[in-house]
Amino acid sequence: MSMVERIALIMQILDEPGVRYRLDEVAVRAGLPRSTVHRILDQLLATGWVQRRTDGYALSAGATASRNAPSEHPELRSVAAPVLNRLHLDTGLAVHLGVLTGPEVLILDRVVGRSTIGLPTRVGGRVPAHATALGKAMLATLSPEDIDALFKPGITKRTPRTIGHLATLHQELGKVRGRRNLAYEDGEFVLGVSAMGVPITGSEGLVGAVSIGGMLPLENIERLGPLLLRAASHVSHKLADQTGVPEHPLPESDGTLGRLLAALPDDGWL
């Protein structure tokens, strides 16, 4: 085998969402000497194509993004874009659009401002579904059996606040369903960052999700639940319009919310 073929083989082995392999496991699966696999993995680590944690190796977000690139969801991105911008302008928070790919979320689009630009997300990147409001909103639409299958390999904690057990995840998703699928994130992906997400659905079920968040207390974001629900509903209706369903205009902010936004100082909680 040429070196290129060996590299391709190793990347194919690691190209399995939610699964990490140790060095010896990769060598056995590839049928290659351990020293050869170690040298190739070191090179892939240096170039950013592979990431390594205590539980093993996996492809990095940059490498896996090509499996489900944002260009494969042009209709959703196009319909959602003005809604994302509107949410950001109304709240000043970071806004994300994503789709579920296995136990991870692929970020299709994001709108951030000066106060939220440091968040560790990027278009085309992936984040763990169980640790983010964006992901939990979509997971809550799945059956318990589907959740068990997705997280059969295990759940990785990103911070001390991340859900680390399957039973706890089921309990959390039950709470999400009881809140009209409004999902919360409180320092579970990045300490100090809170977010709220809601799924976008279509005639055939789950399409994606949208979230708002930033480096502020969760209770400050929870108040914007109705605004986020209306935004997701509008995207769902616009997607349905593509198939002939009558259009539903995006509701304007109600008077109470409008007065609240106008009254808050620049350094307020929004």
Residue 48 lies in domain: 3-59
Structure token digits, residue 115: 């106060």
What's the average model confidence in pLDDT over 242-264?
48
Number of structural domains (the chain) is 2
Looking at this protein, which amino acid is placed at residue 137?
A
| pLDDT on residue 117 | 57
Looking at this protein, which amino acid is placed at residue 150?
L
Residue 175 has pLDDT above 50, yes or no: yes
| pLDDT on residue 66 | 46
Structure token digits, residue 37: 């696999």
What's the average model confidence in pLDDT over 151-173?
92
Residues 77 and 53 occupy one common structural domain? no
Residues 100 and 27 occupy one common structural domain? no
3-state secondary structure of 104: strand
For the four alpha carbons of 131, 137, 138 and 140, in that order, the dihedral sign comes to positive
Residues 45 and 115 occupy one common structural domain? no
Residues 212 and 146 occupy one common structural domain? yes
3-state secondary structure of 96: strand
Looking at this protein, which amino acid is placed at residue 198?
V
What's the average model confidence in pLDDT over 18-25?
84
Residues 48 and 111 occupy one common structural domain? no
CATH number for 44: 1.10.10.10
In the block, tokens 């440091």 appear at 118
Looking at this protein, which amino acid is placed at residue 74?
P
What phi and psi values does residue 193 have, to the nearest 5 degrees? -105, 130
Residues 165 and 227 occupy one common structural domain? yes
* DSSP output for 55-85: TEEEE-HHHHGGGG-GGG-HHHHHHHHHHHH
